[in-house]
A and B are shown apart, each in its own frame.
Chain A
Amino acid sequence: MSEKKKTEQTPILKIEHMNITFTQYDRGMRQTELPVIRNLDVEVHAGEMVAVVGSSGSGKSLLAHGVMGVLPYNASMGGRILYCGEELTKQRIERLRGNEIVLVPQSIAYLNPLMKIGSQICKGSKDEKVKRKLRDIFARYSLKPEVEELYPFELSGGMNRRILISTALIEEPKLVIADEPTPGLDLKMAKRAMEHFRELADMGAGVLVITHDLELALETADRIAVFYAGTTLEEATVSDFEREETLRHPYSKALWRAMPKNGFGFVSGEQPYVKDLPGGCPFAPRCGRCTEECRKGEIPSREIRGGRVRCLHLEESFAE
């Protein structure tokens, strides 16, 4: 492999064994540790859109906060985050966030209620170049120039998404993290929102979308990371989701069966709460192929057919 090829393949973002633990005070002064994210791996390449898909309460949003370096004081993070091949240290993210690495928040509740949209997107900059760029972005998203003078509470529902994404476009982002971009939107709007992020990827940025909506993610993303109870169980390409057989983990297969077009399949039980997570595979209590080994220790991540999976029973599932 030539040196050039190698740099091209260096992922923009590579998260290895990320874990985030909250320290809480239980009754009285007893401290408890809450491992909200236990083992998260994901990779995003330039020009690629990766969706981290998980149900609510799986700790997805914390992933974004962890990467951006804004975890609350009682949270601690372990594992490795590599940005363009180099460790993303606290100092480095503080320098890069807001220009090379941007986050698009869930809703306009993340905008300052007392600052006009225009100057808010430009972060108060009076620079003519920035302002021209803002006008271009508005034109691109067919937002009227008057919107610049509005306050967040005056925005209509249809504008919100485009405004939020404008905060990313005003920078020169290499990595865009979108935190739950679709809740509360009807299908058409949600699709539009996802397409906006697809465009960012097509423009060359790496896009990491955190979402609970597998169907939408499948329509727009390149790869899917299946996230369950604080752990990424599988990383697969979108095409792997066309058939159940090409998927690797029993939970991904269950997700596939649960999709409306595949018959609303149902697995009993519920996602365990972080406080009473089982040892070993978090899906073990609900899994049909679970054995004794699945409940002991950490399940290693293995690369199989261009994807990755944490499961001990791969051979058997291939035999299906």
Chain B
Amino acid sequence: MDRRIPVLIGKNIVRAMLLVFAVSIVTFWLMKASPMDPLQTNVGQAALGSMSREQIEKLEEYWGVNTPPAEQYLSWAKDFVRGDMGTSLLYRQPVAKVIGAKLANSLFLMIFAWLVSGLLGFVLGVIAGMNRGKWIDKLIKGYCLVISSTPAFWLALLLLMIFGVGLRWFPIGLSVPIGVEAGGVTFLDRVYHAVLPALTLSITGVSNIALHTREKMIDICGSDYMLFARMRGETGWRLFKNYGFRNVLLPAITLHFAAISEIFGGSVLVEQVFSYPGLGQAAVAAGLGSDMPLLMAVTIVSALFVFGGNMIANILYGVVDPRIRRGGASK
């Protein structure tokens, strides 16, 4: 059998492990370097003042204040390697369970935003690139430039004010209706609550993809093969389908999978604005609340997501581009 595929898989596993190791060290070190006192932030100055010595010692032990950092990291790593991500100090639940719940919320949001921004960005970019310099190009380009210089959280606030507070079309936050039993929450309720945050993420994601695709499309339109195709009488849809589309699709794929990281980053802020209990919000809570096990896990999961996105782009490139697929095989 072809030995290239097992080798490729092995290489990527090693890479992923190195990445997790590096990310965990950096996260841990940053957390330790932060000037935050876990007791003060989580218990509060006033409460601490009224507590007895023993109570405070118990709390210090719970938050691991007096354990040496190296020992702390090693004990975490030992468990992590065995598949135990520990217990969240804030939620008092296994980290895996917390992450699972948060991820389920976020994933819907992110997948929606990722698909919409990818598709819409691609289409807008192609239209703009094919009609370079015309009014439609100027319109799309202008829109993208305005959007890409707009902070995601600001746009989130804007949408919240207009559609949540002003028009009351959508809820102002959270992922489920208030005052309804967990069992009574329908799928539609969840979708309804996810619309605004997902929309914010999509709108901000579109501009980057559209601008890149537009640039690529302009290159293709000026290429020799496009010129020759026109000289051979190809026009309109056929010209686009056989010459433009195929060639712009490749960079678009890479771009789209690389955009996973941006959607991930954007979701942290957007979830915060909409009080949406997703992974992004969990990351903020864990960071501010010195919840070391949770933060480590959230960071690692995010890193793996981005890694996975880039890896899929690499693999797809090999599948879609004959120059890599066949060129590599013949060597």
Contacts and interface: CB of A to CB of B under 8 A. Distances in A.
Contact of B246 (A65, A99, A115, A167): A115
A110 B323 contact: no
A143 interface: no
A105 B232 CA distance: 11
The interface size bin for chain B is: 20 to 34
Interface string B217-254: 00000001101111111110010001100110010000
B317 to A, nearest CB: 12
A97 B229 contact: no
A172 to B, nearest CB: 13
A114 B322 contact: yes
B68 interface: no
B322 A103 contact: no
Contacts of B234: 98, 123
B326 interface: yes
B241 to A, nearest CB: 8
B228 A105 contact: yes
Given A153-B327, A154-B326, A113 B233 contact: no
Nearest to B323: A153
Contacts of A102: 231-232
A114 B246 contact: yes
B57 interface: no
A115 B322 CA distance: 9
Interface string A111-122: 111110000000
A109 interface: yes
Residue among B230, B232, B242, B243 with the highest chain A CB neighbour number at 10 A: B232
Contacts of B242: 112, 115, 123-124
A114 B320 CA distance: 9
A113 B232 contact: no
B233 to A, nearest CB: 2
B149 to A, nearest CB: 27
A103 B238 contact: no
B225 A123 contact: no
A70 interface: yes
A70 B154 CA distance: 47
B251 to A, nearest CB: 12
A114 B321 contact: yes
B227 A123 contact: no
Nearest to B245: A114
B233 A111 contact: no
Contacts of A236: none
Interface in A228-244: none
A110 B321 contact: no
Nearest to A177: B231
A108 to B, nearest CB: 9
Contact of A151 (B228, B229, B230, B322): B322
A210 to B, nearest CB: 14
Interface in B294-331: 321-323, 326-327
Contact of A114 (B227, B231, B235, B247): B247
Indicate the member of B228, B243, B322 with the most A CB atoms within 10 Å.
B228
A154 B326 CA distance: 9
Contacts of A111: 225, 228
- Most chain B CB atoms below 10 A, which of A99, A109, A112: A112
Contacts of A123: 232-234, 238, 242
Nearest to A153: B323
Contacts of B326: 151, 154
A68 interface: yes
B237 to A, nearest CB: 11
B246 A110 contact: no
Contacts of A110: 224-225, 227-228
Contacts of A113: 225, 247, 323
Residue in A68, A97, A109, A114 with the greatest tally of chain B CB atoms within 10 Å = A114
Contacts of B323: 113, 151, 153
A105 B226 CA distance: 12
A135 B258 CA distance: 43
Interface in A165-203: 167
A105 B224 contact: yes
B224 to A, nearest CB: 5
A97 B232 CA distance: 6
Contacts of B243: 112, 115
Nearest to B238: A124
B63 to A, nearest CB: 58
Nearest to A151: B322
Contacts of A112: 225, 229, 242-243, 246-247
A97 B225 contact: no
A98 B232 contact: yes
A110 B229 CA distance: 8
A98 B227 contact: no
B181 to A, nearest CB: 55
A70 B224 contact: no
Contacts of A124: 238, 242
Interface of B: 224-225, 227-235, 238, 242-243, 246-247, 250, 321-323, 326-327
Interface of A: 65, 68, 70, 94, 97-99, 102-103, 105, 109-115, 123-124, 151, 153-154, 167
Q: Nearest 6 CB-CB pairs, A to B?
A: A98-B233, A110-B228, A98-B232, A114-B246, A110-B224, A68-B231
21 contacts: A70-B227, A70-B231, A97-B233, A98-B231, A103-B231, A105-B228, A109-B224, A110-B224, A110-B225, A110-B228, A112-B225, A112-B246, A113-B323, A114-B246, A114-B321, A123-B232, A124-B238, A153-B323, A153-B327, A154-B326, A167-B232
